[in-house]
Amino acid sequence: MQPYREMSKEELLKEKEKLEAEYRKYQHRGLQLDMSRGKPSQDQLDLSMEMMDVLTSDHDLSCDDGTDCRNYGVLDGLPEAKVLLGDMIECNPDNIIIFGNSSLNIMYDTISRSMTHGVMGNTPWCKLDKVKFLCPVPGYDRHFAITEYFGIEMINVPMLSTGPDMDLIEKLVSEDEAIKGIWCVPKYSNPQGITYSDETVRRFARLKPAAKDFRIYWDNAYCVHHLYDINQDHLIEILAECKRAGNPDMVYKFCSTSKISFPGSGLAAIAASANNLEDIKKQLCVQTIGHDKVNQLRHVRFFKDIYGITEHMKKHAESLRPKFEMILDTFERELKELEVGSWYCPKGGYFITYETLEGCAKNVVARAKKAGVVMTPAGAPFPYGKDPKDSVIRISPSYPSLEDLTLATKIFVVCVKLSSIDKLLKAEV
């Protein structure tokens, strides 16, 4: 195939005519295909169904130290649950608090607490003239929704193949006391699937922020979400690096089992320094008497240990891997030689990002919708939903069946081709 840029106007118009005929055929089929969110499929949810059998009415619901999980108490989580999640995120169990089912809820609470009561004795953010947050882009739309909700100014930081642009981050945080944090998805990032390099993590740990209450919001959501048994990314542990660098209090590390067990009924946790945890518990002891210990016990007895989680995640990979490979193979076959976009080939996580020619993303998503394929809105991976180049599209392969996903990908490719041709034809006018 010849690159579109090298085609004459007549050749482009002929190609467009052929593609529009194909597109109309898809429209007439009345399809309803959803690639909008990173939800586990039915098959993936079924992998955890035996968890419903590990606790029954005739089971002892006491944990290892004798605590009756049916009753009040244990503010920071069962010891064995802290060990399980601690091993998963490579942290000392003593540095962990187990919450409910949602890590996003913990992040919201952490921002909210900082707004109303400050961080470790510092001025509450609501009393400051300006509060700012750094946002690696493209990034996770729900992170940005939290900071936007609280009126926090968000500053874009470009993502590189090694992680966020650390030169820019180091400069910004050292010069501006109003910058209070940064959102990070450090492993198999949402949406590109990039894992931060060792150097990037170490530079994060050695930041010298002007704000004493600056925190790294380290959302390690995909820490065990590999697509392959051997060909995996490795992320060095941020808490240990911060401690080594003399900045033990600078990071909040979040995790959950949302895409490991049941998204609506998993476990979520925060890991941080002893000083940070003490500060968090001041709110937590007022907010709750303890989270769902029966669910914590259920997870511990189902997975047993980190090896149980590892084996369970191999089953998830068996479901996800064919979907990722199908999309990437299709892009390679149908789009690479046309030179109408780019993509990153992740080794794990839940998303694939396609970057169109500048100014085409909204058009591609709108065309796909008219043909029956619902995608994440263009612009969603950016603060305020504004993609400066209108080029980034997040693709969520997990939820549809492989058959439906294959059809949706074919439609997506046609939409990319049509939008790219339209842009090139306009450029010739």
Does this model's pTM top 0.95? My answer is yes
Integer Cα distance of 214 and 5 in angstroms:
46
User: What tokens appear for 108 in the block?
Assistant: 């919201």
* pLDDT tens-digit series, residues 37-94: 899 999 999 999 999 999 999 999 999 999 999 999 999 999 999 999 999 999 999 9
Which stretches within 57-180 are classed as H helix?
79-88, 103-117, 141-149, 166-175
Q: Identify the band that residue 267 occupies on the pLDDT scale cut at 50, 70 and 90.
A: very high
Q: Measured on CA atoms in the order 119, 120, 126, 127, is the torsion positive or negative?
A: negative
**Stretch 24-31: mean pLDDT, rounded?**
94
CB contact set of 408 (below 8 Å; sequence gap of 6+): 33, 35, 368, 373, 400
The DSSP-derived string for 362-373 is HHHHHHHHHTTE
Percent of the chain at pLDDT > 90 equals 98
Give the per-residue pLDDT at 406.
97
353: three-class secondary structure by DSSP: strand
Per DSSP, 384 falls in state G
CB contact set of 395 (below 8 Å; sequence gap of 6+): 35, 191, 327, 351, 352, 353, 354, 375, 376, 412
Where do the domains of the chain lie, and which CATH numbers do they carry?
Answer: 4-44+310-428 (3.90.1150.10), 62-304 (3.40.640.10)
* pLDDT tens-digit series, residues 292-319: 999 999 999 999 999 999 999 999 999 9
Give the per-residue pLDDT at 1.
79
Query: What pairing do the DSSP bridges indicate for beta strands 373-375 and 341-343?
Result: unpaired
Residue 429 has pLDDT above 60, yes or no: no
Residue 278 has pLDDT above 60, yes or no: yes
* pLDDT tens-digit series, residues 161-209: 999 999 999 999 999 999 999 999 999 999 999 999 999 999 999 999 9
Give the per-residue pLDDT at 342.
97
Q: What does the mean pLDDT of the chain come to?
A: 97
- CA-based nearest residue to 408, from 344, 337, 327, 335: 327
* pLDDT tens-digit series, residues 366-382: 999 999 999 999 999 99
**Stretch 229-241: mean pLDDT, rounded?**
97
Give the per-residue pLDDT at 37.
86
Q: Identify the band that residue 427 occupies on the pLDDT scale cut at 50, 70 and 90.
A: confident
Integer Cα distance of 163 and 65 in angstroms:
42
Q: Identify the band that residue 428 occupies on the pLDDT scale cut at 50, 70 and 90.
A: confident
* pLDDT tens-digit series, residues 6-22: 999 999 999 999 999 99
Integer Cα distance of 171 and 165 in angstroms:
10
User: What tokens appear for 332 in the block?
Assistant: 């390679």
**Stretch 210-222: mean pLDDT, rounded?**
98
* pLDDT tens-digit series, residues 326-382: 999 999 999 999 999 999 999 999 999 999 999 999 999 999 999 999 999 999 999
Integer Cα distance of 307 and 82 in angstroms:
15
Q: Identify the band that residue 404 occupies on the pLDDT scale cut at 50, 70 and 90.
A: very high
